[in-house]
Amino acid sequence: MIILTKEDMQKVFSMEEAIEADKEALRLFSEGKSTVPLRTNIDVPEYEGQSLYMPAYVSGSQSALGVKIVSVYPNNIDKNLPSVPATMVVLNSKTGIVEAVMDGTYLTQLRTGAVQGAATDVLARKDAKVAALFGTGGQAITQLEAMLTVRQLEEVRIFDIDKGRCQKFVEEMSEEFAAFGTKMIAATSAEEAVAGADIITSATTSKRATFDGKFVEEGTHINGVGAYTPEMHEIPADIIVKADKVIFDTTEGVLAEAGDIITPLEEGLVERSHYQGDLGEVMLGKIAGRATDAEITVFKTVGTAVLDVVTAEKILQKAKKFGVGTTINM
């Protein structure tokens, strides 16, 4: 069994590879080649915690089997421990034997950034030059890297309600991603971030829209990444209504969890037919993606274990190839 840390994973697997892994995962999902049971949530009331188990199996030329374990323990902060620790367990699909245990927190950040990158690559205009990023939390780095990877961006405007944190993030990312040659700007307002942006990515848990839809121009592609409960609404309802294409990672997951998609439907602002389907279906040619440079496209993701198991399996194979990680004999 191989133990893979975040550093091990970064050594062998790039964002570009993660984007391709997520594309493959969503295509396999849309082809019906995956089994994804509902996640199991175990309440641990005496410690004010929860433990969640997210299994999946994907068949195909390179099958993948595994389970991600995510715990939510808010009081861990007082113990100087992560409040949402995660671990990925990868099993050999042919034998059922555990082959690897890896950093699930980093895996989640990587595959979530990559699925946005996949959607941006498929749906955004090819000539997109300016992007906006809302939120500078744990997801922000990979969200930024994914946009930089799939488009030759001249400028990224970053906005966060915490101005100091935003400025620090911009300074760090300007150095981290200097090789892309993209100008990073700490936007002073949501309007400044959005006006004239070709790509907008919101990665927050906000219960209200992070920007005003009236500033969104024709041809913009929008990614909703952070909101994952019915109470969260980071994408403006008027943009959902106005959008020419609204695409999901998985329709079942988004319509069960994402408030910014559920609410316009419940309030009668859109019909169910306004939501076209899944990104995997776009890539397979089953439904249409962007048709013209003037269209506004929206992608919403709440995550799926299919992304975890496919990405984890590919990381494991690369780690084996290059001899990275710590091997334990069981």
Per-residue pLDDT tens digits for 38-88: 889 999 999 999 999 999 999 987 899 999 999 988 888 889 888 889 999
Give the per-residue pLDDT at 237.
Answer: 96
Using one digit for the tens of pLDDT, what is the confidence trace for 290-323? 999 999 999 999 999 999 999 999 999 999 999 9
- Give the pLDDT score at 182: 98
- As a whole number, the mean pLDDT across the chain is 95
Q: Is 286 a catalytic residue?
A: no
User: 57, 65 in Cβ contact below 8 A?
Assistant: yes
- What would you report as the CA-atom Rg of the chain, rounded to the nearest whole angstrom? 19
Give the pLDDT mean for 120-148: 96
**What does the pLDDT average to over 121-135?**
98
| pLDDT (average), residues 96-111 | 96
Q: What gap in Å lies between CA 245 and CA 124, rounded to an integer?
A: 11
* Catalytic site residue from 23, 68, 314, 318: 68
Same fold, 2-107+306-327 and 125-304: no
Question: Quick one: 125-304 is in which CATH superfamily?
Answer: NAD(P)-binding Rossmann-like Domain (3.40.50.720)
**pTM: predicted TM-score of the whole model, two decimal places:** 0.94
Residue-level pLDDT at 314: 98
The pLDDT, as a whole number, for residue 60 is: 81
Query: Is CATH 3.30.1780.10 the classification given to domain 2-107+306-327?
Result: yes
For the chain, give every domain's residue range: 2-107+306-327, 125-304
Q: What is the mean pLDDT of residues 2-16?
A: 98
Percentage of the chain surpassing pLDDT 70? 100
pLDDT of res. 329: 87
Task: Show contacts of 83-90: CB within 8 Å, 24+ apart.
Answer: 88/308, 88/312, 90/64, 90/65, 90/66, 90/309, 90/312, 90/313, 90/316
- Residues in contact with 131: Cβ distance below 8 Å, sequence separation at least 6, in sequence order: 147, 151, 153, 155, 156, 157, 197, 198, 199, 200, 201
- With a cut of 80, say whether residue 24 has pLDDT above it: yes
What are the respective helix, strand and coil percentages of the chain, to the nearest 5? 40, 25, 35
Residue 109 is predicted with a pLDDT of: 93
- Residue 46: the pLDDT is 95
Instruction: Name residue, tokens 């249409």.
Output: 288
CA distance linking residue 70 with residue 87, whole number of Å: 7
Per DSSP, the three-state class of 325 is coil
* pLDDT of res. 78: 87
Residue-wise pLDDT for 278-290, tens only, equals 999 999 999 999 9
CA atoms within 13 A on the CB side of 39: 18
What does the pLDDT look like over 203-247, one tens digit per residue? 988 899 999 999 999 999 999 998 788 898 999 999 999 999 999
pLDDT in tens, 159-217: 999 999 999 999 999 999 999 999 999 999 999 999 999 999 999 888 999 999 999 99
Mapped onto helix, strand or coil, the DSSP state of residue 283 is helix
Angle at 1 between CA 25 and CA 139, to 5 degrees: 45
